[in-house]
Amino acid sequence: MEFVLKAILKVVKIALILFVVTFGIYMNNLENKLIFYVIRPLLNKHYDSQVRDRRV
Amino acid sequence: MNFSEFTDILVAPIDKALQRYDPIWLAENGKGGQRTRYNDKNGIEKYREWRGTKDTLRDYVAWLKNVGSMGQMVASAPVACLKGFWEYRWMGSYLGTFIFINRLFEGYRGEELKIANMHMHAITSSLTKKIAFVLKNDKRLGGGPDSDNIIPYDETLPPLYLMGFPGLTPVPLQTLPEFIICDIDQHIEPYYIDVAESMGLPADVCSRCSAETGVAIDDAFPIMGRGMLSSNMPCNASEATSSFQRRRIGLPDFPVTLAMQHQEEEGKDFSEQVLKDSMKFIEDIYGVKYDWNELFKYAKLMNEQNEIEMEKWDIFATPYSPLNGISETLYKLYEWQSVNGAEPMFNEVDRKVIKIMRDCVDKKYEAFGGKTRHRAFLWGPSAVYYTDFPTWAQNCWGINVVLNMDSTMGYNHIDTEDPVKAMRDLTEFSQRSCMRHHAVGGWDNINAVWDWAKRFNCDMIICNDNVACKGMNGVHAALEEQAAEYGMHWVWLEHDLEDSRTVSRQDMRKCINDYMSVVLGEEPLDATIVEFDDSEGY
Amino acid sequence: MKDLKHLIYFENLLQEAKNELVDQAIKEGNHPLGYNCYYIPETLLNLPGCFSSRLRAPRCTSTDVANYYMTQRNCPYARSILERAVEGGYNYLEALFGAEACSTMERMEEHFALYNPVKNDKFFTTIIDPPMKGDDTNLEYYKVQLKEKVLKPLKKNLGVDISEKALKAAIKDHNDIAKIITEIGEFRKLDNPPITGYEFHVIQLVSEVCPHYLIKPYLEETLAEIKKRKPEPEFPFRARLVVAGSEIDDPDFTKLIESCGAMVVADRYCFGSFPSREQIEIKKGEKAFDAICRHYLETNQCARFMDGEKIDQRTAEIMKLYKDFKADGVIYEQMKFCEFWSYEKVLAGNILANQYKVPVCTIEKEYMLGSMGQLRTRFQAFVESLEIKAIGG
């Protein structure tokens, strides 16, 4: 019984942490800030350096 | 008291405490509005929209589900996805999807938000699977088990009739690298347009086709299949750009040239024969026999979608539809043009949505807090780089875009027993494609706008004025004179389809702002979004 | 070279759509039938008792009214035609046979039905849905369209004889005119031709805008004159060019090119003789109407065709003209706002230049020659580059 309760508590704890983390990301728009300010500029640098087979 | 009412009471104190973060409350009280939480120019939100406890949690769950879909996409083809991001500039733009979704449903609450999230998740889930499938089988990235079993077809060609080839998967050629991605990122197509123009293509051609040409010249189309179907739809520039795509992609090509004057019986006979010829082309190239029973399976799904659609239309005509604006337009466009009966998941979503809509009619639920002042029909092909325009129109001026021209695509019943009848039905259905069936084939097709507007009790028509659309430009005065005769509010919405540099989003907003403030003398619902600079945002 | 006897007369005939020969034919009881595009077979409009009038808007100075109807962001040829119609320039017409070949053309022709700018009680408009491929399915559709929207209305509205005999007479009329024009045009293959590109352009145009039976004697006389005409002692131009493109109905455009030192030896554009002046052949067992439809579909080189065979045919035809007429280069012209030729200009221009190593100059122009200075500079530079290339071997 105690084991089950502990397990439930652990699940709730993990769920709560997950909720706090993901809701924090969601509410503060963190993933989009990361993409806009960090990832895309790096990717664009890569795309701009590509040599493409550009012809008709 | 039901459960929902009970929870409303529970969260009321929280909502009260946090209402100063709710942009609608801010606008109502003259303390700010939707734009308050944005960074200027780049359109990055400092924090997501607080919609009240329940709606925020609802939106959060929807976000989680979409994150899950994206995770699934990467997990299903990790190497291909990485290669795709590395190889294709347009793939990088898909990272802006969540910013895009946030823009789309600003100000959405309650039932309209519920439906919008269901719709968006269906699209995200389907699209991510499609992206993974394409990248996994893209010969440029190494290919996969289905590389040769894909039929690449022009995205304006409804793929339903191609579902009769067992073992083959139709994939719209331009949708991933050009069309949908322009919805998400307004800066991606100008890159490809510049590529096309660097080869000498004038800047006054339709920017959608110019972008497609740029993708072809830049060698950025995924390579798949053994033969491709190009199309004369929707219009002249699409016909012209196909010659570039055919050349660069290098596959045997069958142009599916459906009749322009598609309302005439002779036109239907012709289109039917063209479809049959294209089926023969696929049979010859792929060595797969057409199976009508296979087709009927999907035609039944399409028929159900259209039956539900007809019921939705009845509800659209009332003030109690929780489905409208971009939530309706984007879903319908994707469901009809890209899915076209091929994915049962969309039928499930439709069934759930129509239930919600029926309830809303019973409850006399008015979307957007009953703040709608005008019911508008959006006519003509819309700006792809400003997908969230209807959302802005509602939030800023209370203009509810009830329906869009492209939501009137093929809705006829397709026979599911007799191949002869089915062929005729498929012809009728396929001819009524996106950006096309009202835009070509003569005056009567474009002039049908009045019947549509009346059917949905609209008092306003916002007519997309794509500066490069020669067909629509050709009827400018004729339409205006009709509007004067019918006494309907008629607003030209200037844009350049996929090139936001020519007519920016703010330029588009100005068209509406000027009409609403100068002609109608109305005050905005949210003063923070009347004029703002989002030129650097996705 | 000595001036051609009828050149000034021909030039005068091109000053108005309703010229003196058109007047005369109407007085003699013939039906004047207008059209804009090669998709409408000229032959069908030259059935006994009718004559074709390919619409131009010569000396058009402004398109203000047409701009109101169609915006300024549309093909200036189409706008000029509409403007001329509103001005009353086509009141002589009894019909306009249109083609939804491009959106602009279709919209322009639609205004003829919506607003009735042509003040003629008999006037009517039809618009065909023209084919986009050269295969049998499209040929059959073409036949249906031409039967339903050209032949039947001609019979019903104007009482025109559309019998097999009448169609054969129309083919003969076409072949007679085509033979004369082709013979005149062939002189341009010579190293030192006894005709200039400008003169040929004028001659070709009068054959398209005047009643055939009235212009034919003048053309025959001109052919006889050219046969005996003494060319300049030395070829007076520095280069020879093929011009390809859309609606070039202003001979001053050809004059402009030639004033820059290059003779236009072949005219592959709408209003040009390639295609339009080929012989129509009735195959064994074939009906005259079927032969006309087949001929026009086979010879049509509109940039609108989408199938591989027709796309390749366009390039192949240019290459054939380039070789047969011993050209040094090709000018690709595109009317501003023309979607089809915008693309074709880039596609074919690149193929010719990169695949076949043919010197190409691509230009964009208005309908009326406005910015002559810019075009002149382009042409002069192109001619110079051809000369440098020739020196370099």
Token pair, residue B43, equals 């359109």
Q: Which residues of B touch A39 (CB under 8 A)?
A: 95
CB-CB neighbors (< 8 A) of B86 in chain A: 46
Which chains touch B (3+ CB pairs under 8 A)?
Answer: A, C
pLDDT of C130-162, one tens digit each? 999 999 999 999 999 999 999 999 999 999 999
CA angle C225, C229, C230 (to 5 degrees): 175
Position B132: which residue type?
A
| Number of Cα atoms under 13 Å in the Cβ half of residue C237 | 30
A22 and chain B: CB distance < 8 Å anywhere?
Answer: yes
B440, closest residue in chain C (CA to CA): C103
Under 8 Å CB pairs connecting chains B and C tally to 156
Please list every residue in chain C whose beta carbon sits closer than 8 Å to the beta carbon of residue A56: 346-347, 350-351, 354
The 3-state DSSP class for residue C364 equals strand
CA distance linking residue B367 with residue B376, whole number of Å: 15
pLDDT, residue C393, reads 66
> What pLDDT is recorded for position B292?
98
One-character DSSP codes across C77-100: HHHHHHHHHHHTTTTT-SEEEEET
Beta strands in B309-440 (DSSP E): 374-379, 399-404
Render pLDDT for B146-159 as a digit per residue (tens, 0 to 9): 999 999 999 999 99
Return d(Cα B531, Cα B528) in angstroms, integer. Answer: 7
Pick the closest to residue B319 from B260, B360, B279 (CA basis).
Answer: B360
Å between A43 CA and nearest CA of chain B? 7
Q: Which residues pair with C32 in a beta bridge?
A: C51
Q: From the CA of A53, how many Å to the nearest CA of chain C? A: 15
Q: How far is B439 from chain C (nearest CA, A)?
A: 9
DSSP class of residue C195 equals S
C325, C189 in Cβ contact below 8 A? Answer: yes
Q: Indicate whether B387 pLDDT > 80.
A: yes
Q: Where are the alpha helices (DSSP H) in B378-503?
A: 389-397, 419-431, 443-446, 449-455, 470-473, 476-486
CB atoms under 10 Å from CB of C59, counted, come to: 12
Residue C306 gets which letter from DSSP?
-
d(CA C193, CA B384): 55
| B466 strand-pairing partners | B495
CB-nearest to B243 from C68, C106, C343 is C343
Q: Can you point out the beta strands (E) in C173-255? A: 239-247
Interface check A56 vs C, CB under 8 A? yes
**CB distance B309 to B374 below 8 Å:** no
Quick check: C73 and B204 CB within 8 A? yes
* Mean pLDDT, residues B190-216: 97
Nearest CA in chain A to B213: A56
- Give which of A18, A21, A25, A29 to mutate to test B binding, by max B Cβ within 10 Å: A29
Query: Given an 8 Å threshold on Cβ–Cβ distance, is B247 in contact with C307?
Result: no
| pLDDT tens figures, B255-304 | 999 999 999 999 999 999 999 999 999 999 999 999 999 999 999 999 99
Q: Which of B250, B395, B274, B389 is nearest to B330 (CA)?
A: B389
Burial (CB count <10 Å: 0-12, 13-18, 19+), residue C102: buried
- Which of C125, C100, C102, C129 lies closest to C115 in space, CA to CA? C125
Rounded CA-CA distance B410/B306 in Å is: 9
Q: How many CB pairs under 8 A join A and C?
A: 7
**Is the separation of the CB atoms in C142 and B261 below 8 Å?**
no
Measured CA angle at B178 (ends B172, B184), to 5 deg:
115
Query: CA B517 → CA B221, B325, B397, B510, B530, distances in Å?
Result: 45, 22, 10, 10, 10
Widest CA span in chain B: 68
Comparing alpha-carbon positions, the chain B residue that sits nearest to C349 is B200
DSSP three-state, residue C20: helix
DSSP per-residue letters across B27-50: HHTTS--GGGGBPTTT--BSS---
* φ/ψ bin of C376: left (φ > 0), alpha (ψ from -120 to 50), beta (otherwise): alpha
Select the more confidently predicted residue: B137 or C392: B137
CA–CA dist B131, B84 (Å, integer): 9
* Other CB atoms within 10 Å distance of the CB of residue C357: 8
Q: How far does the CA of residue C113 sit from the closest CA of chain A (Å)?
A: 41
Residues in chain A closer than 8 A to C347 (CB atoms): 56
Which of the 8 DSSP states describes residue B425?
H
Contact A33 B219 (CB under 8 A): no
Give chain C's residues under pLDDT 50.
none
Q: Interface of chain B against chain A, CB under 8 Å?
A: 42, 44-48, 56, 60, 63-64, 85-86, 89, 92, 95-96, 98-99, 102, 195, 199, 217-220, 244, 247-248, 538
Chain C residue numbers touching A55 (CB-CB < 8 A): 350, 354
> Which residue type is seen at C64?
D
- For the whole model, what pTM was predicted? 0.96
CB within 8 Å of C260: residues ≥ 6 apart: C376, C379, C380, C382, C383
pLDDT digits (tens, 9 = 90+) for C217-269: 999 999 999 999 999 999 999 999 999 999 999 999 999 999 999 999 999 99
Chain B positions touching C342 (Cβ under 8 A) are 201-202, 204-205, 240
CA distances from C350 to B237, B246, B248, C96 (A): 18, 15, 13, 37
For residues B48 and B102, is the Cβ–Cβ distance under 8 A? yes
Tens-place pLDDT, residues A8-32 = 999 999 999 999 999 999 999 999 9
C355 touches chain A (CB under 8 A): no
Among B189, B228, B1, B23, CA closest to B106: B23
Inter-chain CB proximity C71 and B473 less than 8 Å: yes
Nearest-Cα distance to chain A for B22, in Å, is 13
Closest Cα in chain B, distance from residue A20 (Å) = 12
| Contact status, residue B91 vs residue B85, Cβ threshold 8 Å | yes
Beta carbons of B474 and C336 less than 8 Å apart: no
Question: Do C257 and C241 form a contact (C-beta atoms < 8 A)?
Answer: yes
Quote the CA–CA distance of B54 and B18 in Å, as a whole number. 12
Burial level of C179, CB count in 10 A (0-12/13-18/19+)?
middle
Q: What is the pLDDT of residue B79?
A: 97
**How far apart (Å, rounded) are the C-alpha atoms in residues B500 and C254?**
39
C45: helix, strand or coil = helix
Cross-chain Cβ contact B85/A53 below 8 Å? no
Q: What is the pLDDT of residues B64-100, one digit of tens each?
A: 999 999 999 999 999 999 999 999 999 999 999 999 9
Interatomic CA distance for residues C339 and B233, integer angstroms: 14
Does A4 contact C at CB distance below 8 Å?
no
Q: Using alpha carbons, list the distances in angstroms from residue B140 to B146, B222, B225.
A: 14, 7, 12
Per residue in B353-382, pLDDT tens?
Answer: 999 999 999 999 999 999 999 999 999 999
Q: Which of C8, C12, C97, C4 is nearest to C53 (CA)?
A: C97
Residues 6 or more apart whose CB falls under 8 angstroms from that of C3 comprise none
Token code pair at residue C367: 């309908």
Nearest residue of B to residue A38 by CA position? B95
Q: Angle at Cα C334 formed by Cα C332 and Cα C339, nearest 5°?
A: 125
**Stretch B223-234: mean pLDDT:** 96
Q: In what order do the strands lie in the sheet with B460-466?
A: B399-404, B374-379, B460-466, B489-495
pLDDT digits (tens, 9 = 90+) for B479-500: 999 999 999 999 999 999 999 9
Which band of pLDDT confidence, cut at 50, 70 and 90, is reported for residue B232?
very high
Q: Report the gap between the CA of A56 and the closest CA in chain C (Å).
A: 7
